[in-house]
């Protein structure tokens, strides 16, 4: 029970912590029992409160929870159960867990609430892509931790956790008095945007939809592949953007019978036969990238930006080391602005594709609309071009702006099981952009509207043809993507490398980073910045990394901010953002002159 870098083992919380506590309490010697309990309480507290170095197990400052060298809900969700129960059993005793330890556990649990709907997206599922891990797996933990009190205010009940418990378990407000001794309303589903660069992903939520935007980089592995698990999981984090309605994922067609493993929604991939897609490593492959930059950012907790700077590994069989791509997504309310550029590789035998969507044809995902016509026949095949639109079975509309041919299918698909590799089959709706074989500097641009209708998509098409775009792409090349949303005036800068900018208010960004700006008025604006580089190695603690940003005009900070230094000189202002563990730093600025 000495705290060190291996003390925050998630499997310990899940499988042994409660049993360990029981063994100590069974000690017949009261003096030894108290001494052991004191040591156990201190050990358990520190194991929850610490940020472990490198890739070791434990809770991270952005809310991710690491096992197997990365954020892993398949291990963390069961761990939350054990940890919350132990914290509850120790409360109001001399061995109680401190506010810091409880705050860390709460942060991880509330993050999991954000990235579950009520189950997680495919990109976060580790080696079990269609095992629906979700908040219901640790629902009672919200109650136990709520009853230990609020670690920030000192209140004897954490009302945020308690209200979340009511929602997750489907309990009404009338039941809260009996459970918590207070009248509370169930927590509404979260809305907004969250950044979890400890897992190289962002979460955007609108109404009851959850969008998981997933990448990988040098710190975050792409997928976990075992000798008998997830054999075709190469593209799990390939800049994937999955829109998941609330509810049972199988009812919405996210099931593996017939699933095309090459076509994860939003991902850009080389479409390979399954024997070529199968991992070349017979046992474990947890591939990290050579690039440090890929992940997510946000502004005001509401607007999101996502980037994937891809370079395939050149040291593995069946991988094309020449495969590169630049991908970005801006997420604003119900709009996802999808950009791709510099998509290139030398694979001349198989096509490169960007998938718009793929889902099984099920009771809640049967509809398909193409340019205003409802499609019910199966099989169905169509090829679209710029200016065309479609709506998938989840009421998400896709308007094609730029790209190669867009293929739409309602079809019977055959595939293989990710574990047994036995044949599977099912009926699916799917759409993808075909970039062709061995593409050179290919790209795409399309707009997604969630919770839309054929009438709304038809109006959008008319507006687009009349030049009334809801957004503008100000730049799209190998060095940067810059997008401006016209409704909110939010501008997102994805700097794939540091350099100068002519677009918007930003003049320069010193390194690979994401910068977001929003004018509040003529004299006020908010700005955030982050680099997805976690600044760590396998054994070291994360480092704080500075991002220097120059903007036009003379500005000052509206209030003191220890994460952002602001200095104006003449008609420009220099800002230095301190980026720690991929958590965006943000400041409100006031114009000086």
Q: Distances in Å between the alpha carbon of 236 and those of 201, 212, 230, 324?
A: 12, 11, 10, 16
What value does the mean pLDDT take over residues 241-248? 97
Instruction: Please report how the helices 30-49 and 17-25 are oriented relative to each other, as an axis angle in degrees rounded to 10.
Output: 160
Split at pLDDT 50, 70, 90, the class of 61 is very high
29-40 pLDDT, tens digit each: 999 999 999 999
Where in the chain is CATH 2.70.98.10? Answer: 192-465
What pLDDT score was predicted for residue 422? 97
What is the dihedral angle through the alpha carbons of 582, 588, 590, 591, rounded to the nearest 10 degrees? 40
What pLDDT score was predicted for residue 404? 80
What is the rounded radius of gyration, in angstroms, for the C-alpha atoms of the chain? 24
pLDDT at 132 over 90: no
488-514 pLDDT, tens digit each: 999 999 999 999 999 999 999 999 999
What pLDDT score was predicted for residue 85? 98
Q: Is 574 helix (H, G, I), strand (E, B) or coil?
A: strand
Among candidate residues 75, 252, 303, 444, the one labeled active-site is 75
What pLDDT score was predicted for residue 101? 97
Where in the chain is CATH 1.50.10.100? Answer: 10-180
Where in the chain is CATH 2.60.220.10? Answer: 477-591
What value does the mean pLDDT take over residues 292-311? 98
Looking at the chain, the whole-number percentage of residues with pLDDT higher than 70 is: 100
pLDDT at 103 over 90: yes
> Is CATH 2.70.98.10 the right assignment for the domain spanning 192-465?
yes
What pLDDT score was predicted for residue 34? 97
Beta-ladder partners of 205: 192, 210
Q: Hey, how many other C-beta atoms are within 10 angstroms of the C-beta on 178?
A: 8
**Buried-exposed string 96-120: b where 16+ CB fall within 10 A, e elsewhere:** bbebebbbbbbbbbbbbbbbbbbbb
DSSP 134: B
What is the dihedral angle through the alpha carbons of 48, 50, 53, 57, rounded to the nearest 10 degrees? 0
Split at pLDDT 50, 70, 90, the class of 593 is confident
Among candidate residues 12, 13, 56, 68, the one labeled active-site is 68
What pLDDT score was predicted for residue 266? 98
Half-sphere exposure of 141 (CA within 13 A, CB side): 28
What pLDDT score was predicted for residue 152? 92
Split at pLDDT 50, 70, 90, the class of 377 is very high
Q: Is 295 helix (H, G, I), strand (E, B) or coil?
A: strand
Q: Which ranges in 383-501 belong to alpha helices (H)?
A: 454-465
- Residue 322 zone, left/alpha/beta (φ > 0; ψ -120 to 50; rest): alpha
Average pLDDT over all residues of the chain: 97
What value does the mean pLDDT take over residues 421-436? 98
What value does the mean pLDDT take over residues 283-293? 95
510-529 pLDDT, tens digit each: 999 999 999 999 999 999 99
Instruction: Please report how the helices 73-90 and 139-146 are oriented relative to each other, as an axis angle in degrees rounded to 10.
Output: 30
What is the CATH code of the structural domain delimited by 477-591?
A: 2.60.220.10
pLDDT at 403 over 80: no
196 assigned to active site: no
139-169 pLDDT, tens digit each: 999 999 999 999 999 999 999 999 999 999 9
Q: Which residues contact 124 (CB under 8 A, 6 or more apart)?
A: 71, 73, 115, 199, 201, 212, 214
- What the block records as the tokens of 462 is 């008319």
Q: Is 385 exposed, middle or buried (0-12, 13-18, 19+ CB in 10 A)?
A: exposed
pLDDT at 307 over 90: yes
Q: Hey, how many other C-beta atoms are within 10 angstroms of the C-beta on 199?
A: 31
303 assigned to active site: no
CATH homologous superfamily for 10-180?
Chondroitin AC/alginate lyase (1.50.10.100)
Split at pLDDT 50, 70, 90, the class of 575 is very high
pLDDT at 223 over 80: yes
What pLDDT score was predicted for residue 83? 98
């Amino acid at each position: 029970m000495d705290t060190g870098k291996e003390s925050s083992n998630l499997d310990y919380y899940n499988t042994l912590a409660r049993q360990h506590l029981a063994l100590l309490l069974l000690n017949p010697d009261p003096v030894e029992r108290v001494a052991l309990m004191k040591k156990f309480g201190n050990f358990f507290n520190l194991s929850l409160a610490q940020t472990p170095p490198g890739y070791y197990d434990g809770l991270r400052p952005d809310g991710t929870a690491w096992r197997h060298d990365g954020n892993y809900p398949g291990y963390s969700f069961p761990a939350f159960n054990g940890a919350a129960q132990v914290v509850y059993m120790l409360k109001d005793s001399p061995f109680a867990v401190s506010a810091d330890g409880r705050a860390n556990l709460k942060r991880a649990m509330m993050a999991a609430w954000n990235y579950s709907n009520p189950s997680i997206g495919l990109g976060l599922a580790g080696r079990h892509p269609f095992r629906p891990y979700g908040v219901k797996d640790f629902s009672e933990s919200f109650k136990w931790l709520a009853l230990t009190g609020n670690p920030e205010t000192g209140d004897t009940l954490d009302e945020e956790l308690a209200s979340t418990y009511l929602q997750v378990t489907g309990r009404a407000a009338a039941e809260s008095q009996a459970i918590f001794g207070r009248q509370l309303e169930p927590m509404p589903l979260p809305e907004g945007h969250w950044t979890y660069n400890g897992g190289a992903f962002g979460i955007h939520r609108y109404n009851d939809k959850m969008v998981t935007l997933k990448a990988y980089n040098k710190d975050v592995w792409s997928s976990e592949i075992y000798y008998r698990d997830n054999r075709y999981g190469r593209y799990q984090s390939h800049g994937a953007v999955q829109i998941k309605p609330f509810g049972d994922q199988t009812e919405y067609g996210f099931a593996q019978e017939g699933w095309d493993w090459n076509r994860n929604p939003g991902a850009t991939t080389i479409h390979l036969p399954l024997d070529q897609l199968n991992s070349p490593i017979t046992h474990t492959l947890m591939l990290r990238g050579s690039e440090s930059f890929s992940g997510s950012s946000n502004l005001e907790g509401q607007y999101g930006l996502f980037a994937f700077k891809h370079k395939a590994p050149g040291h593995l069989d069946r991988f094309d080391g020449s495969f590169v791509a630049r991908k970005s997504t801006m997420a604003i309310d119900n709009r996802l602005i999808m950009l791709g550029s510099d998509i290139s590789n030398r694979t001349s035998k198989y096509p490169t594709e960007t998938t718009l969507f793929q889902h099984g044809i099920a009771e809640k995902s049967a509809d398909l609309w193409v340019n205003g016509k409802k499609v019910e026949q199966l099989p169905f095949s169509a090829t679209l071009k710029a200016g065309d639109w479609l709506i998938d079975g989840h009421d998400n509309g896709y308007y094609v702006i730029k790209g190669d041919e867009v293929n739409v299918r309602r079809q019977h698909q055959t595939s293989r099981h990710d574990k047994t590799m036995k044949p599977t089959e099912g009926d699916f709706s799917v759409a993808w952009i075909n970039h062709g074989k061995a593409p050179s500097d290919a790209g795409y641009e399309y707009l997604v509207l969630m919770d839309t209708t054929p009438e709304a998509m038809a109006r959008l098409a008319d507006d687009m043809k009349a030049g009334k775009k809801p957004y503008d792409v100000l730049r799209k090349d190998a060095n940067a993507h810059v997008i401006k949303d016209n409704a909110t005036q939010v501008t997102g800068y994805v700097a794939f490398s540091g350099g100068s900018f002519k677009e918007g208010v930003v003049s320069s960004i010193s390194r690979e980073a994401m910068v977001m700006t929003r004018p509040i008025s003529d004299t006020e604006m908010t700005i955030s910045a982050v680099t997805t580089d976690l600044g760590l190695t396998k054994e070291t603690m994360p480092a704080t990394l500075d991002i220097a940003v120059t903007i036009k005009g003379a500005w000052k900070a509206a209030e003191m901010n220890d994460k952002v230094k602001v200095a104006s000189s003449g008609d420009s202002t220099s800002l230095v953002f301190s980026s720690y563990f991929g958590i965006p730093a943000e400041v409100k600025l006031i114009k000086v002159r």
